Amino acid sequence: MVEAPEPPRVRDGKVPVKVDPAKVDRDVQNLVASLDFHVTFNLPEVSRILGAEYDPSSFPGGIYRKREGYTFLLFKNGKAVLAGVKSFAELKVAIEKFKVEAKDKLNIRIKDVDIEIQNLVLSLDLHVEINLESFVHEIYDSYYSPELFPGLTFKIYDPSATFLIFSSGKCVLVGLKRLEDVDRAIARLCETVNNSGAIRGWRKD
């Protein structure tokens, strides 16, 4: 005979609200990657032809802003930083477009590109109201100073990431370097929030 599952614990006559990681809204706001094009850039020429900003007295690289909303920081040794894309697919498209520009306008043929994610920034929505004072008193590695900032800072170490948590249940996730770690980080957040006793209830939008 199969035993019935244990019913949820009732506190003060109410079944406690629990956040399901699968139902957390998530949206990538920014992806930052370091690149190596394995070529040499003539930065004055890049500035003149592509319209990149270049002032070596203030910054050693060329700042190439694209109308799509992302930016390349280009360096003489062929290394670069790409910021402002919102997915790995958009990252690859941005790189392929730049390779075409380099070939057609700079006469530089780029073959292999090394890519390393440096930071992911995501906005999250847990759809619950959270008592941040209760959370910070219960959870280690959290910090809350409402007179300085309305959000609570909560750090995790496996994977390594930081959450900014607001009383509305909306959060910002920063510090991840791998897309495959997003689900694990959100699961850790939900587990911690659920165990903190700080959930006031579902947010009424």
For a pLDDT cut of 70, what percent of the chain falls above it? 93
Cα 82 to the chain's mean position, in Å? 14
What is the CATH number that goes with domain 21-28+120-202? 3.30.310.10
Tell me 135's DSSP state: H
* pLDDT band, residue 205 (cuts 50/70/90): confident
Which CATH number applies to 38-112?
A: 3.30.310.10
Q: Supply the pLDDT for residue 12.
A: 52
DSSP tag of 9: P
pLDDT for position 68:
94
DSSP letter assigned to residue 179: G
If phi > 0 it is left, if psi is from -120 to 50 it is alpha, else beta; for residue 200 that is alpha
User: How far apart are alpha carbons 54 and 60 in whole angstroms?
Assistant: 8
DSSP letter for 107, please. Answer: -
- How far apart CA 73 and CA 53 sit, in angstroms, is 10
Residues 103-138 pLDDT 10s: 999 999 999 999 999 999 999 999 999 999 999 999
Closest CA to 82 of 39, 32, 120: 32
What rounded mean pLDDT belongs to the chain?
A: 93
pTM score of the predicted model:
0.81
User: What is the structure's pLDDT at 15?
Assistant: 55
> What's the confidence (pLDDT) of residue 54?
98
CA dist 189 and 124 (Å) reads 11
Domain ranges of the chain: 21-28+120-202, 38-112
Kindly report, residue by residue over 41-89, the tens digit of the pLDDT: 999 999 999 999 999 999 999 999 999 999 999 999 999 999 999 998 9
